[in-house]
């Protein structure tokens, strides 16, 4: 069941507001190839060997040099592109789950369960995003300290999602209160079914009585 726009106020919903910022920041990072620079990688490689020309390196050093060159080329040829697609998949999935959960306003217990499932899936995708991003920046020759803000931002989104999920307990309590009021027991021990057998209580099975 979807909530009318006038009741939702999505612009003030911190889970979504923060996710918008996170998605934009991650997209900018992907557009910059996670901060990887072929020129910087080459300079770092030359510095590693004391700036000596390739021909002056020993055979062992040349083998090491060739391995590093192949590794750097692999970053550009497939690793960065593959990780970019993987991280975008996390972002797309998280977006779908967050907005599906937000469009479901629980009016019955089943809808509350459905919304929690999407909240759980969104949290799972954020954890996946966190792990993939950490793996990427630890693999690439970049300064990891510069990317702490991204991991902090993902962790904040996870905490916001968990807080949102926890706040839904109010619906659970409401459903529980409604169920407990269905059949009360009076102080004298007499049971009261709140007119459950009448048409203004629980709907009777009219089909069973009409032949």
pLDDT tens digits for range 40-69: 888 888 888 888 888 888 888 889 888 888
List the domain range (segments joined by +) for residue 30. Answer: 18-183
Residue 211 lies in a domain: no
Strand partners, 177: none
Question: How many domains does the chain divide into?
Answer: 1
pTM summary value: 0.74
Please check whether residue 190 lies inside any domain of the structure.
no
* 80-102 helix and 109-139 helix, angle to the nearest 10 degrees: 160
Instruction: Indicate the angle between helix axes 80-102 and 14-31, nearest 10 degrees.
Output: 170
pLDDT at 86 over 80: yes
Direct distance between the N- and C-terminal alpha carbons of the chain, in angstroms, rounded to an integer = 35
* Residue 202, domain member (yes or no): no
Per the CB < 8 A criterion, the answer to whether 14 and 160 are in contact is: yes
Angle at 198 between CA 197 and CA 202, to 5 degrees: 65
């Amino acid at each position: 069941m979807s909530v009318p726009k006038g009741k939702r106020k999505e612009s003030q919903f911190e889970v979504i507001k923060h996710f918008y910022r996170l998605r934009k920041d991650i997209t900018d990072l992907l557009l910059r190839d996670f901060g990887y620079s072929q020129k910087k990688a080459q300079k770092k490689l030359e510095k590693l060997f004391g700036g000596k020309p390739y021909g002056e390196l020993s055979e062992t050093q040349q083998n090491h040099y060739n391995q590093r060159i192949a590794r750097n080329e692999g970053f550009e040829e497939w690793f960065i592109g593959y990780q970019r697609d993987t991280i975008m998949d996390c972002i797309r999935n998280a977006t779908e789950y967050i907005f599906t959960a937000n469009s479901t306003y629980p009016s019955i217990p089943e809808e509350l369960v459905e919304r929690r499932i999407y909240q759980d899936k969104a949290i799972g995708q954020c954890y996946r995003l966190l792990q993939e991003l950490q793996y990427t920046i630890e693999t690439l020759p970049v300064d990891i300290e510069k990317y702490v803000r991204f991991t902090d931002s993902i962790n904040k989104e996870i905490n916001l999602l968990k807080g949102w999920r926890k706040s839904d307990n109010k619906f659970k309590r409401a459903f529980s209160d409604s169920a407990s009021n269905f059949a009360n027991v009076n102080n004298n021990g007499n049971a009261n079914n709140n007119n459950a057998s009448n048409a203004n209580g629980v709907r009777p099975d009219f089909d069973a009585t009409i032949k």
